[in-house]
Amino acid sequence: MTRTRRNVRDMVIAATILGASAALHRMLDHYKILDLTPISIFELTASDGKALALTFGAAVVAWICGIALGYLAGMAISTITVERLHLGEVVRWAKTFNFLFDAVYIVPLVVTLSLAGGFALYIDTHAWWLPRWVTGLGLVICSGFVLGGYQIYAAVYYATVQSRRETRALMRSLYLRPRGLGARLGRFGHRLRLVKSYRDAEIRSFAEAMKRALHLSIVAVMILEVVRPGIYESFFPSTGAQLGWTNGAGYGVQIAQSNFLFVRMSGVLWSVLFFDLFAVRLLEELMDHRWLQFDKARQ
């Protein structure tokens, strides 16, 4: 089954679940358990919808910034360490960065975000000239970088340092035409191209890392919303009345759980699942178009 057909199938399944739930809900209203099916999405309020939209938007921003930073870090550290660059001190710094990033990834995200949130609060308090949305955006990017960005970083770094012997021998031997920025960076550009070729040799792992990063960005943003309630107030400051939706869907789930509002909680979670399904399928299509269609093609 081709990917496109599989994606269509998944969408049909999702729509069927939703439709069947709606039908069952109408026919068997007294079975309250059915309220927890995807039909619960229709029980959500406009405020929940705004909170979800903010969460999804933040997840996309976290993912884009996370993979960009993770990719840059992976390329930079791999370029320094590849081919035993004779840069002594720089290589040691690069390896230290790798050690630290590995360590930060192991630390629970809640702890990392709490520390980053405390730092953001300090900046908000002392750097009066800085717009408030900067620290909010910084926290969103931080959450994306630590979880999703690490996936990309690790995919690039370990494709380089743990490459097969045949891969190393071949990539060192080939004429790799430098393109874009690399073409203007001379020897460093050539090393960048070399690292990119190691990534290309493990393109399926890299594609999987992109997908994992997307899943994790949604998770990271929802955790951030729980750790830092009102995170979106830095983007939408309210005067007086507190706007519930500026807490985001993650915080909404926590509040719903505390108040035994299981239908609402279920509606938010189903919405997140459908968004994740849709976003991942879209990403798979993009990666198929760019890389994987050739990898899957028969010779």
Partner 1 sequence: MNQTISASGIATTPPNLQTGAVRFFGGTVEFPTYVLTYAVPADGVVMWQPSHALSLCLVRSPSGTGKSTWVASLDDWLRGIRRRSEKLSFVAQGGADSSRNAVALIPQNPPIVKHWRVRDLVPEPCAYLTALLTPDVLTKRVGELSGGQIRRLYTASSLAKLAESPAEQCFLLLDETFDGLGVDEAADRLKRIADVWKGKPLFVLLVTHLDADQLSASSAASSRLEMSIQRPGDRAGTVLVRNW
CB of 208 vs partner 1, minimal distance in Å: 15
**Which residue lies nearer to partner 1 by CB, 47 or 167?**
167
From candidates 128, 129, 175, 260, binder to partner 1 by CB under 8 A: 175
CB of 98 to partner 1, least distance (A): 22
Stretch that binds partner 1, among 88-96, 161-169, 220-228, 259-267 (CB under 8 A): 161-169
Alpha carbon distance 106, 297 (integer Å): 37
Work out which of 20, 170, 273, 282 binds partner 1, going by CB under 8 A.
170
Residue 165 sits in the site that holds partner 1 (CB under 8 A): yes
Closest C-alpha to 291, from 213, 214, 205, 219: 205
Of 254-293, binders to partner 1 (CB under 8 A) are: 290-292
Q: How far is the CB of 178 from partner 1 (least distance, A)?
A: 10
User: Which of these segments, 36-44, 101-109, 123-131, 174-182, binds partner 1 (CB under 8 A)?
Assistant: 174-182
Candidates 23-31, 115-123, 159-167, 278-286; binding stretch for partner 1 (CB under 8 A):
159-167
Nearer to partner 1, 236 or 291 (CB): 291
Contacts of 121 (CB under 8 A, 6+ apart): 135
Nearest distance, CB of residue 299 and partner 1, angstroms = 6
Which of 29, 92, 179, 282 forms a contact with partner 1 (CB under 8 A)?
A: 179
User: Least distance in Å: CB of 294 to partner 1?
Assistant: 4
Start-to-end Cα distance in the chain = 18
Q: Out of 15, 169, 183, 273, which residue is the one contacting partner 1 (CB under 8 A)? A: 169
d(CA 205, CA 216): 16
- The piece of 70-78, 121-129, 170-178, 255-263 that touches partner 1 (CB under 8 A) is 170-178
Q: Which stretch binds partner 1 (CB under 8 A): 137-145, 199-207, 211-219, 278-286?
A: 199-207
Interface residues with partner 1 (CB under 8 A) are: 84, 164-167, 169-170, 172-177, 179, 197, 200-201, 203, 290-292, 294-295, 297, 299
